[in-house]
Structure 1
């Protein structure tokens, strides 16, 4: 086993900083970027419902429309997540949104079904690394005592994109044509232009000093962190900062895929891989399939988008409610508890035929979904050390995109043959397995980004 040492690290210097405008700016800018990631994810479900009639889509083709973006996100999360460990968090942030913006705009002007699928895949490739990069970057830049709270605030802003996708979708779909373009094409244009604006906001983000540190570039790490420290001191009118506490750290070396399955990390990686394969069924399954499920219940496309949009209002509310919870309760048990509630409200949504009950069930489901989501986004960034975080989290998170891509090909035929009740009963069973996985294999983590190899 490698020898460890106790010393002052970038992490210990960051953790002693008082919260300042730079931390709020980071949470805001990253949250706005996540806004367009989540907008696009749930846009897939809207397109799946809206394009059936004009393109005469079969069940398989509808599944392709919904899954193409997720499959691109899978490839992007694997490739860009690993690359971010080599070129830096900020550099990857500048690349991924440009890719998304370019191909989302191309999809808006796609001449046919196949081109929409191709461009949605390529746009998804750009977005694939967005959520894990946000988790990693906030985990490396925000002081330990506020990490969970600021991550939750960032995602609260991001999740405003979900009901916006519903309400904007309902408006544009109801329009026959705007400036000679179909309403659904404007939904893609809005996402592309918004992401480009976020790209400009991100130009001045600092590179993560922790990333510089694990690349053995101590000069750059110290320069970046010293700039941040000086800014914090000026803002708080401090002459000095508290002394940082030495911590036990691992020797800096490049992480490999084999290493994330070795030692104490094997159990965590196994847990996270199983979790990511399963969690998307309960979480993204509802958001991406809700409009299609409502159409199958006999509602019109426009009415379905109305009810889905009202249900989606629970996403930002749940994210807001998670802010005090993620710092007060152990993350793993918050994940388990909220997953159980997702299963229960999903069953209620599946059985419901009365509109107020449908909307209430969907609203409650999306509310607890974001307590669940924010908890695991913080959790997965805390259970691996800095040097392997991009690789471990990026690859694991990519598996959720695979499940998201496969899900429509399973759920839509079941929906067509057996109805929404069967879909949500299957979802509930999968969420129970997820709870067992986290409860049995998941380590406790609250308030820590783990740097040690024995704890």
Structure 2
């Protein structure tokens, strides 16, 4: 069967732009882009963990029943499903930068509206629409960094972006610990948490107005002159000796007309079927371990008998493991094959989660909570890099967003699947379910996953 033109006839100019980026050392522009993306991701993780962190407080304030609490926790994830799918297609069709600005505006605006929630219905609706913006943030960031970073530095610098990003998780934990018992200006402390998230993402929106467009995307869409200018500007930042060596490389051929827009069914072509099946299973299973702890930790601690403020304090301390785990992944990201690092960290999550579930003392609860979040963020960081490395530029954002959206549906189902197990059987059996999901994920990645470390993202 003939392959679609959009993927069969990649413009040579796009290939040349990608080759030049992959041969480039890391420049000040690369560092600046990584930092701006990382700050945006910081407020994304702040928002993502907000409702789970203060779930007990919301339950008391609005007198939620069990079903309403599940809907509040699930609503943002359902919105993220739609955001991942829709804004991924926007990024492939209209550019990565434009999609970034849309998603930030959505989650900043609706998070602010959530601060004024008079009832549970308002909160559920605003969390859904904030989720549309939040859902696109990580997959867009992954694709953008995969587009602009050199192949041999892609993993390390993406890990730096996520190290910055995951400072948002303990930030929301400690902000909740500080604000929840208070009512500044007569306004409930939890409402100020929504305002903080909205204000931060508004600042990031201003910063991202100055982001460059992805040169790979520009070249793949027939905008060769703009792509050449951006790459030449980055090359000019390379020290003289390295720049002279690069000058010996052949000039890029003349640009061809832009290829027709890629279609989502391209992910089912024979050469992509194996990786598509792997990614869809991987994304569905991964959030069971990752969000199973992050979203439900206060509920788990309540089941162990701790009060609201104490459980938020334990959760905040446990969340310190998130940025530490991302930081620890920096030196190993480009030295260990991605799929092996995914498997090792997932197995460590299963073991430390079971330990956390059965821990009896406060010391062991906090120590194992930190260990769990630490290894889960090694897992998360390498997963984000691995996910963005699977498809070529014309379909990267849309195909990645589609796979990533499945993780959001899975996350939305988590409160309905795991809370009944927690309520009926306790933390141990609930983490047994999580450990089983992570074991299945390890098997899927090792059997179906391909090698990507140091390989160009322009490969088919």
Give the TM-score category using the shorter length: over 0.9
Q: Are the aligned partners of 1:255 and 1:391 in contact in 2 as well (CA < 8 Å)?
A: no
What is the deviation of 1:4? 7.4
Select the residue among 36, 47, 52 that pairs with 1:40: 47
Instruction: Check if 1:51 corresponds to 2:58.
Output: yes
TM-score by length of 1: 0.95
Q: Distance in 1 between matches of 2:141 and 2:330?
A: 16
Q: Distance in 2 between matches of 1:326 and 1:316?
A: 15
Q: How many residues align?
A: 448
Q: Are the aligned partners of 2:9 and 2:259 in contact in 1 as well (CA < 8 Å)?
A: no
Instruction: Check if 1:94 corresponds to 2:98.
Output: no
Residue matched to 1:192 = 198
Residue matched to 1:145 = 152
Q: Distance in 2 between matches of 1:228 and 1:246?
A: 16
Residue matched to 2:125 = 118
CA separation of 1:218/1:60 partners in 2, compared to 1, >3 Å: closer, same or farther? same
What is the deviation of 1:252? 4.5
Q: Distance in 1 between matches of 2:151 and 2:363?
A: 42
Q: Distance in 1 between matches of 2:369 and 2:385?
A: 24
Q: Distance in 1 between matches of 2:86 and 2:341?
A: 30
Residue deviations 1:264-310, cap 9 Å, x none?
21100010000000000001111111011111111011000110111
Select the residue among 397, 401, 415 that pairs with 2:404: 397
Instruction: Check if 1:136 corresponds to 2:143.
Output: yes
Residue matched to 2:226 = 220
- Give the 5 Å matches for 1:381-392: 381-392=388-399
Select the residue among 15, 23, 28 that pairs with 2:30: 23
Instruction: Check if 1:408 corresponds to 2:415.
Output: yes
Select the residue among 447, 452, 455 that pairs with 2:459: 452
Q: Distance in 2 between matches of 1:419 and 1:341?
A: 21
Indicate the SS of the match to 2:365: helix
CA separation of 1:384/1:290 partners in 2, compared to 1, >3 Å: closer, same or farther? same
RMSD: 1.9
Residue deviations 1:129-151, cap 9 Å, x none?
10011111111111112111100
Q: Distance in 2 between matches of 1:119 and 1:410?
A: 23
Instruction: Check if 1:174 corresponds to 2:181.
Output: yes
CA separation of 1:89/1:3 partners in 2, compared to 1, >3 Å: closer, same or farther? closer
Q: Distance in 1 between matches of 2:9 and 2:178?
A: 61
What is the deviation of 1:219? 2.2
Residue matched to 1:442 = 449
Q: Distance in 2 between matches of 1:416 and 1:427?
A: 15
Instruction: Check if 1:74 corresponds to 2:100.
Output: no
CA separation of 1:325/1:50 partners in 2, compared to 1, >3 Å: closer, same or farther? same
TM-score by length of 2: 0.94
Indicate the SS of the match to 2:283: helix
What is the deviation of 1:3? 6.3
Indicate the SS of the match to 1:305: helix
CA separation of 1:246/1:418 partners in 2, compared to 1, >3 Å: closer, same or farther? farther
Q: Are the aligned partners of 2:278 and 2:448 in contact in 1 as well (CA < 8 Å)?
A: yes
What is the deviation of 1:220? 2.2
Q: Are the aligned partners of 1:314 and 1:363 in contact in 2 as well (CA < 8 Å)?
A: yes
CA separation of 1:244/1:447 partners in 2, compared to 1, >3 Å: closer, same or farther? farther
Residue deviations 1:237-280, cap 9 Å, x none?
87645145899xxx955322211011221100010000000000
What is the deviation of 1:422? 1.4
What is the deviation of 1:450? 3.4
CA separation of 1:5/1:43 partners in 2, compared to 1, >3 Å: closer, same or farther? closer
Residue matched to 2:360 = 353
Residue matched to 2:111 = 104
What is the deviation of 1:123? 0.6
Q: Are the aligned partners of 1:47 and 1:65 in contact in 2 as well (CA < 8 Å)?
A: no
Q: Distance in 2 between matches of 1:228 and 1:112?
A: 51
Q: Which runs of 5+ in 1 are unaligned?
A: none
What is the deviation of 1:82? 1.3
Q: Are the aligned partners of 2:343 and 2:446 in contact in 1 as well (CA < 8 Å)?
A: yes
Q: Distance in 1 between matches of 2:360 and 2:70?
A: 24
Q: Are the aligned partners of 2:91 and 2:99 in contact in 1 as well (CA < 8 Å)?
A: yes
What is the deviation of 1:351? 1.1
Q: Are the aligned partners of 1:31 and 1:155 in contact in 2 as well (CA < 8 Å)?
A: yes
Residue matched to 1:335 = 342
Residue deviations 1:93-123, cap 9 Å, x none?
1111111111000000111111001001111
What is the deviation of 1:67? 1.2
Instruction: Check if 1:296 corresponds to 2:303.
Output: yes
CA separation of 1:245/1:345 partners in 2, compared to 1, >3 Å: closer, same or farther? farther
